[in-house]
Chain A
Amino acid sequence: MTEIFEKLQQKSRAVWQSLRDRPLILVGTATCGRAAGALEILKVIKEELVKHGIDAQVLEVGCMGHCYAEPLVTVYKPGFPPISYGYVTAGIAGRLVEDFLAGDDPCLEFALAALEANDMVPALTDFPRGMIERPIILDKCGLIDPEQIEHYIALGGYAALATALAREPGWVVEEIKASGLRGRGGAGFPTGRKWETCRLAPGEEKYVICNADEGDPGAFMDRAILESNPHEVLEGLAIAAYTVGARRGYFYIRAEYPLAVERVKKAIEQARRAGLLGTNILGSGFSFDVDVFQGSGAFVCGEETALIASMEGEPGLPRHRPPFPATAGLRGRPTVINNVKTLAYVPHIIERGAQWFRETGTAGSPGTAVFALAGKVINTGLAEVPMGTTLRQLVYDVGSGIPKGKSFKAVQIGGPSGGCLPEAALDMPIDFDSLSQAGAMMGSGGMVILDEDDCMVEIARFFLDFTQKESCGKCTMCRLGTRQMLDILEAITKGQGRPGDIELLLELAEDVKSGSLCGLGKTAPNPVLSTIRYFRDEYEAHIKERRCPALMCRELIAYYILPEKCERSCDACVGSCPVEAIYPNEDRIKVIDQQKCVKCASCLEACPPQYKAVIKLSPPELVAERGATNRG
């Protein structure tokens, strides 16, 4: 067995080595890169290389996690450290080819950072962010071509599978148990125990499923991993299959991720051709194959039993547990379902040992956590940090803080199952247990940073609206309780809240929690509970004063142009208004027709920063007061 694998490794290393003998350009073309125009950059680079007659390799790679700086281009040129360039435009791409590859000027004015420490350019590890991050599963993302299995193997990939196959399945279970790995889908259930249950469950036919139904709004790490390094997850799945004794496995990927589906399919195809899937893998006698099942857009299908129902051709309704899927899952057979990230950790643990994994993170939650930073933070993107890192480090060191000089208000963590944590929680070390104590949840690791302009009642309403729409309808409390809560929240954000609404919400929240079968309903009230717990005063301002302190709730605000600041000769706001609600009065001071205004904030954005004449007022009645002076 080792012989076959060694041959594969040798061949792969040769492919990897051959990349190094001439200049190499990596272009990040994961979905985030594409949204920023990476495909256009790729085209420009290829054209420029031809134009200058340069012999260089161009590779499409995944996401390095520095999504804020997309499109990202990394250049390896012999004699220089590998340098990443961010915010690349067609012009910069052209310069890189002309000045750096044809000439010898590394265009450092466009450089984001070098990938390795050197004397010329600061490296990623020299920044505060680089000191906190400990990439394990994101390690190769953005540095290898996800569509070439050789790259993954050359950097140590599939060695863990070979190691596992040479041992007893029981050994793998013990190793995973010893590592303390907990499910990264959100609940944090010990992976080793799940595997052991399934391994010991009676039954000839067993299944393993990779759960890539990442439905949390605000989370994108599973997508990024599948797009950037699908083999890592596939290897983890194969090890899981060997451990529990499954011959078939599935990737359950949500349909909104077409690129992830495509890359996983390619990865499976390549692994089959390399003899890493199929019959008698690496001559070990173990046979295993994988299919892709596309989810069809139902958030509840992230829940194991609902996921299984959908694979069986039913509406995705969760069912009572036990029996757990590990003993009676897909088609009634023992089934292990793990999240993308959980599986991605497996090869690393097998390769480097349980002890090594325990060295990172906290005692109760070993290892690292992958967070997707989004919202009001300067450096949005993915970050992998040790469990127990504080929120402050994540927001201020990794994320570089809040943009536009605004102040931090809260971080929404864990999607609709999670909650909002206030400034006071910034120094809390985050892991599975500390988060649930604070009334939030790890969830899958989506983190949306909110600043002073974000209304906490509105965010609670947003999540309730989401869970209400996504409730499968099986449990009455989840179906109707969330509806009632949503109605109350909607009324509050429209300024129609009544005294006693907060208490009613708290009561309903308890009922929905206890009266629901699956995680969707049990956690649905979390955003409401945590915002009431930490931001009760905002609820009260909405109810008692019909005022939105964050100036966000559209029914409770009005846009207003300060006459003393409006510049007569400037018409920027007039041109930007999509509904022609702004007109100049007889003094050429701009005025907003409140009846026509759709509150889209275009004028606020358009007003040149030196004037800052457009403001928001809450409650909207304030306009009438101001309006009097406006005319006079």
Chain B
Amino acid sequence: MHLTEEEKKVALEQTGNILESYSRERGNLIPILQQVQEKLGYVPLVAMEEVARHLGMPPVDVYSVATFYNQFRLIPPGKHQIKVCMGTACHMKGGNIILDCWKRRLSIDVNQVTPDREFSLERVACVGCCTMAPVTVIDEEVHGRVTPTRVDGLLFSFGVKIPKGQQKEGEAIGRE
């Protein structure tokens, strides 16, 4: 995904601010990356380079940590982050069907962002809400017992209109 110069500048600035409060110990690497992600919503390459400089380690080592852990996102998330739970209970109650639904409605795949950057889609291993399976988390809010029609309803609550009857495979959804 292409970042604008403005985005890169903001990323560098914020990363610098975060680094000020951390000593140069490698043990701080994950907390720093978590802070960066909390501030920016993702961990851009420029930030990783900056962190590497601060901790005195090769940038590739920072990259290897950021890509090892599932939590870190390397591209900006959508305005609304949709996370579909793929735990055992959710899976047995149709979690993959729900994930397919989101993919179909948003016309994106997992770990992608809609072109207008409104929604991003992720799968999570288990959010520990197994009794409410299948679960989708939207912007920290947990929605339990999701069905395909509920997916449409949730999207509707964000002002997304599903064009009934005309939507073809791969066609982007329309927004009001």
Q: How far is the CA of A67 from the CA of B131 in the complex (A)?
A: 6
Check A220 against B125 for contact (C-beta < 8 Å): no
The interface residues of chain B lying within 8 Å CB-to-CB of A195 are: none
The interface residues of chain A lying within 8 Å CB-to-CB of B124 are: 256, 297
Q: A296-B71, A313-B28 are in contact. Are A35 and B142 (CB under 8 A)?
A: yes
With an 8 Å Cβ cutoff, the count of chain B residues facing the other chain is 53
**Residues of B63-78 contacting chain A, CB below 8 A:** 64-65, 68-72
Check B126 against A34 for contact (C-beta < 8 Å): no
CB distance from B82 to the nearest CB of A (A): 15
The interface residues of chain B lying within 8 Å CB-to-CB of A295 are: 71
The interface residues of chain B lying within 8 Å CB-to-CB of A566 are: none
With an 8 Å Cβ cutoff, the count of chain A residues facing the other chain is 65
- For residue A301, which residue of chain B has the nearest CB? B69
The interface residues of chain B lying within 8 Å CB-to-CB of A31 are: 127-129, 142
Check A450 against B92 for contact (C-beta < 8 Å): yes
The interface residues of chain A lying within 8 Å CB-to-CB of B72 are: 296
Q: How far is the CA of A5 from the CA of B65 in the complex (A)?
A: 44
Check A580 against B68 for contact (C-beta < 8 Å): no
**Residues of B119-161 contacting chain A, CB below 8 A:** 124-133, 135, 140, 142-144, 147-149, 151-152
The interface residues of chain A lying within 8 Å CB-to-CB of B90 are: 217
- A329-340 vs B, CB cutoff 8 Å, 1 = contact: the mask equals 001000000000
Check A316 against B87 for contact (C-beta < 8 Å): no
Check A256 against B127 for contact (C-beta < 8 Å): yes
The interface residues of chain B lying within 8 Å CB-to-CB of A36 are: 132, 144
The interface residues of chain B lying within 8 Å CB-to-CB of A315 are: 64-65, 68-69
Check B92 against A454 for contact (C-beta < 8 Å): yes
Q: How far is the CA of A415 from the CA of B131 in the complex (A)?
A: 15
Query: Out of A35, A219, A256, which one reaches B132, CB within 8 Å?
Result: A35
Q: Does A314 contact B (CB under 8 A)?
A: yes
Q: Does A205 contact B (CB under 8 A)?
A: no
The interface residues of chain A lying within 8 Å CB-to-CB of B142 are: 31, 34-35
Q: A34-B142, A412-B88 are in contact. Are A296 and B69 (CB under 8 A)?
A: yes
Q: Does A347 contact B (CB under 8 A)?
A: no
The interface residues of chain B lying within 8 Å CB-to-CB of A220 are: 126, 128-131
Q: How far is the CA of A348 from the CA of B151 in the complex (A)?
A: 45
Query: Out of B27, B87, B144, B151, which one reaches A218, CB within 8 Å?
Result: B87
The interface residues of chain A lying within 8 Å CB-to-CB of B149 are: 576, 578, 602
Interface centre among B28, B71, B135 (most CB of A within 10 A): B71
Q: A296-B30, A462-B91, A605-B147 are in contact. Are A215 and B125 (CB under 8 A)?
A: yes
Q: Does A570 contact B (CB under 8 A)?
A: no
- For residue B144, which residue of chain A has the nearest CB? A35
Q: A298-B68, A578-B104, A602-B148 are in contact. Are A312 and B88 (CB under 8 A)?
A: no
Query: Out of A313, A331, A472, which one reaches B30, CB within 8 Å?
Result: A313
Q: Does A84 contact B (CB under 8 A)?
A: no
Check A602 against B130 for contact (C-beta < 8 Å): no
Check B87 against A578 for contact (C-beta < 8 Å): no
CB distance from B102 to the nearest CB of A (A): 11
Q: Does B101 contact A (CB under 8 A)?
A: yes
Q: Does A579 contact B (CB under 8 A)?
A: yes
- For residue A315, which residue of chain B has the nearest CB? B68
Q: Does A247 contact B (CB under 8 A)?
A: no
Check B69 against A297 for contact (C-beta < 8 Å): yes
CB distance from B111 to the nearest CB of A (A): 13
Q: How far is the CA of A67 from the CA of B93 in the complex (A)?
A: 17
The interface residues of chain B lying within 8 Å CB-to-CB of A313 are: 25-30, 55, 65
The interface residues of chain A lying within 8 Å CB-to-CB of B125 are: 215, 217, 256, 297, 299, 466, 470
Query: Out of B29, B34, B92, which one reaches A255, CB within 8 Å?
Result: B34
Q: Does A381 contact B (CB under 8 A)?
A: yes
Check B133 against A258 for contact (C-beta < 8 Å): no
The interface residues of chain A lying within 8 Å CB-to-CB of B147 are: 602, 605
Check A598 against B100 for contact (C-beta < 8 Å): yes
Check B70 against A296 for contact (C-beta < 8 Å): yes
**Residues of B88-108 contacting chain A, CB below 8 A:** 88-94, 97, 100-101, 104-105
- For residue A575, which residue of chain B has the nearest CB? B149
Check A298 against B92 for contact (C-beta < 8 Å): no
Q: How far is the CA of A462 from the CA of B97 in the complex (A)?
A: 14
Q: Which 3 pairs across A and B sit closest by C-beta, in order of nearness? A: A313-B29, A297-B70, A374-B130
- Given contacts A298-B69, A374-B89, A578-B148, list 11 more A-B pairs with CB under 8 A: A70-B132, A217-B86, A220-B130, A258-B140, A311-B30, A313-B26, A315-B69, A415-B88, A578-B101, A600-B148, A602-B148
- Residues of B participating in the A interface, judged by any CB pair closer than 8 Å: 25-31, 33-34, 55, 64-65, 68-72, 86-94, 97, 100-101, 104-105, 124-133, 135, 140, 142-144, 147-149, 151-152, 164-165
